[in-house]
Structure 1
Amino acid sequence: MHVPDGFINAPVSVAAGAVAATAVAVSLRGARRELDERTAPLAGLVAAFIFAVQMLNFPVAAGTSGHLLGGALAAILVGPYTGVLCVSVVLLMQGILFADGGLTALGVNISNMAVVTVVVAYAVFRGLLRVLPAGGRSVTVAAFAGALLSVPGAAVMFTLFYALGGTTDVPIGKVFTAMAGVHVLIGIGEAAITAATVGAVIAVRPDLVHGARGLAAPLKLRVDGRLVDAPAAAAAPVPAAARSTRPLWISGLVTALVLAGFVSYYASSSPDGLEKVAADQGIDAKAREHAAAGSPLADYSVKDVSDARLSGGLAGIIGVGGTVVVGTGVFWAVRRRRAEDLSAAATAAPAAH
């Protein structure tokens, strides 16, 4: 759903940029409460993983494909504020290095793919957890539902932007019907990927899943062949700081590199939902060439590498590597700011007495 330059006029693009900048600023402050010494590097990994999976377009209808947006996945794994930042980092990397998503439309894309998806998904996710039984399975079910609804939510937001500042004269009813219809189908794929990923992380490290905090099942002991709840003292968890995140980080990074560097070659080549709707309805009549169209990595290929498989794979690996470095740097900076705030508060507390 990367909106290119020329779909939305300048005034609305500027307004969307202001909305996106405000959301990112709020998220930078909110992420200070979500990130600690363990989750800061994992947030960078989540951003890199989303970048990799977005390269894996899957078919959803005749001549149409879809790909992960990632807002729901990021919000549930590392928190909603950090989730907005994760997807924003991905969109920034894609727009600057890979000419994917217009630079003048960056505010529109962040609003659609980062802010709306996170808000919708996390609201649905938290709402369902209030009524579902506590446990990892409920987290996975709620993640599926939140992700499913987040994609048509983003499609509705694009329709609103188009209604306010579309550069072509297409009836808004047609745009809404076409966008909502195809993105409901894409939402099913988004939901499946999100639920599978969240479920996999919960299976190995539930303590690192932001949306699963406080929902851990009691420790079980086998007594005379039967599983019984462990006594409260035995059930005390191992301090989180004592458990290394390195194995999960390494396995997650390797997975992202394999997906972007190898599996992406087999992704669907059909246009995604927005591209298909734009072509069918004439929304793309005034689309402009991307400002970074001459980038050595434009269109997810490495310039002057003639072999398509090698070119795409190298571009994917570079993208994952760049995203994890930039994302981790951003989140460590946010984490450091939180530590400074806590230190300043601790220093000021005695003076207050």
Structure 2
Amino acid sequence: MHVPDGFINAPVSVAAGAVAATAVAVSLRGARRELDERTAPLAGLVAAFIFAVQMLNFPVAAGTSGHLLGGALAAILVGPCTGVLCVSVVLLMQGILFADGGLTALGVNITNMAVVTVVVAYAVFRGLLKVLPAGRRSVTVAAFAGALLSVPGAAVMFTLFYALGGTTDVPIGKVFTAMTGVHVLIGIGEAVITAATVGAVIAVRPDLVHGARGLAVPLKLRVDGRLVDAPAAPAAAAPVPAAARSTRPLWISGLVTALVLAGFVSYYASSSPDGLEKVAADQGIDAKAREHAAAGSPLADYSVKDVSDARLSGGLAGIIGVGGTVLVGTGIFWAVRRRRAEDLTATATAAPSAH
């Protein structure tokens, strides 16, 4: 759903940019509460994984494909504020390096694909967890539902942007019907990918899944007809605390998976236009689309310039994209984490002087 330059006029694009900038600023502050020394590098990995999976377009209808948006996945794994930042990093890398998503439309894309998807998905996710039985299965089910609804939610937001500032004269009813119809189908793919990924991480490291925090409940025993807390396990038999367990195995396996997906599996992705591209072509929304400012980039269209072999060119571009995203994302999230540590230190230092 990467909106190109020329679909939305300048005033609305500027307004969307202001909304996106505000959301990113708020998310930077919120991410300080969500990130710690273990989850900061994992947030960079989540951004890289989203970049990789977005290269895997899957068919959803005749001549139409879809791809992961990633807002739901990021919000559930690392938190909603950090999730907005993860998807924003991906969109920035795609727009600058790969000419995917217009630069003047960056605010529209961040609002659609990062802010709206995170808000819708996380609201649905948290709402369902309040009514479902506590457990890992409920987290996966809630993740599926949140991801499913987040994609048509972004499609509705694009329709609103088009109604306010579309550069072509297409009836808004047609745009709404076409966009929501195809993106409900894409949402099913988003939901499957999100639920499978969240379920896989919960299976090995539930302590690292933001949306699964608080799942652990004290073991109960029935004694004389009453439920009481089970006695604590002996120290020798006690498991290693979650905070002391290394995240390196998960980080390495996740990065390898992202590299394989982007560098190899992406070659077999559907070549059909995605939902927005198909709707735009069918309805005439793209009549005033402009060439991307980075169309001459060495990595434009996810291929390496002057590398003639399509498989090798696309694979190298994917690997470069994953590597660049994980470096940029991890750097940003470490900086956010460091700022939080500095704030906590300053607070602790100032506390005694208050007496």
TM-score normalised by the chain length of structure 1: 0.96
1:62 corresponds to which residue? 62
Displacement of 1:37 in angstroms is 0.1
Displacement of 1:231 in angstroms is 3.4
**DSSP 3-state at the match of 1:222:** strand
CA distance in 2, matches of 1:269, 1:222: 59
**DSSP 3-state at the match of 2:307:** coil
Residue 226 to residue 46, structure 1, CA distance change in 2 (3 Å): farther
Displacement of 1:241 in angstroms is 2.7
Aligned residue pair count: 353
CA distance in 2, matches of 1:31, 1:286: 38
Displacement of 1:314 in angstroms is 0.2
Displacement of 1:216 in angstroms is 2.5
**Contact 1:135/1:217 (CA < 8 Å) preserved in 2?**
no
**Contact 1:120/1:149 (CA < 8 Å) preserved in 2?**
yes
CA distance in 2, matches of 1:286, 1:311: 30
Give deviations 1:127-172, integer Å, cap 9, x for gaps: 0000001010000000000000000000000000000000000000
Displacement of 1:237 in angstroms is 6.0
Residue 235 to residue 191, structure 1, CA distance change in 2 (3 Å): farther
Give deviations 1:23-70, integer Å, cap 9, x for gaps: 000000000000000000000000000000000000000000000000
CA distance in 1, matches of 2:46, 2:239: 25
Displacement of 1:225 in angstroms is 22
CA distance in 2, matches of 1:261, 1:106: 26
Residue 216 to residue 235, structure 1, CA distance change in 2 (3 Å): farther
- Name stretches of at least 5 consecutive residues in structure 2 with no aligned partner: none
1:168 aligns with 2:168: yes
Displacement of 1:238 in angstroms is 3.4
Displacement of 1:217 in angstroms is 5.5
Displacement of 1:228 in angstroms is 13
Residue 117 to residue 263, structure 1, CA distance change in 2 (3 Å): same
1:315 corresponds to which residue? 317
CA distance in 1, matches of 2:68, 2:307: 27
1:217 corresponds to which residue? 217
Residue 214 to residue 281, structure 1, CA distance change in 2 (3 Å): same
Displacement of 1:240 in angstroms is 2.8
Give deviations 1:274-299, integer Å, cap 9, x for gaps: 00000000000000000000000000
Displacement of 1:219 in angstroms is 6.5
**Contact 1:218/1:235 (CA < 8 Å) preserved in 2?**
no
**Contact 1:71/1:84 (CA < 8 Å) preserved in 2?**
yes
1:287 aligns with 2:289: yes
Displacement of 1:232 in angstroms is 3.7
CA distance in 2, matches of 1:294, 1:261: 22
Give deviations 1:96-115, integer Å, cap 9, x for gaps: 00000000000000000000
Give deviations 1:177-225, integer Å, cap 9, x for gaps: 0000000000000000000000000000000000000013557999999
Structure 1 runs (4+) greater than 2 angstroms displaced: 216-241
CA distance in 2, matches of 1:236, 1:107: 50
**Contact 1:136/1:216 (CA < 8 Å) preserved in 2?**
no
2:245 corresponds to which residue? 243
Displacement of 1:85 in angstroms is 0.1
- Name stretches of at least 5 consecutive residues in structure 1 with no aligned partner: none
Q: Percent identity?
A: 97
**DSSP 3-state at the match of 1:271:** coil
CA distance in 2, matches of 1:226, 1:189: 46
**DSSP 3-state at the match of 2:221:** strand
Where does 1:49-198 land on structure 2 (aligned, <5 Å)? 49-198=49-198
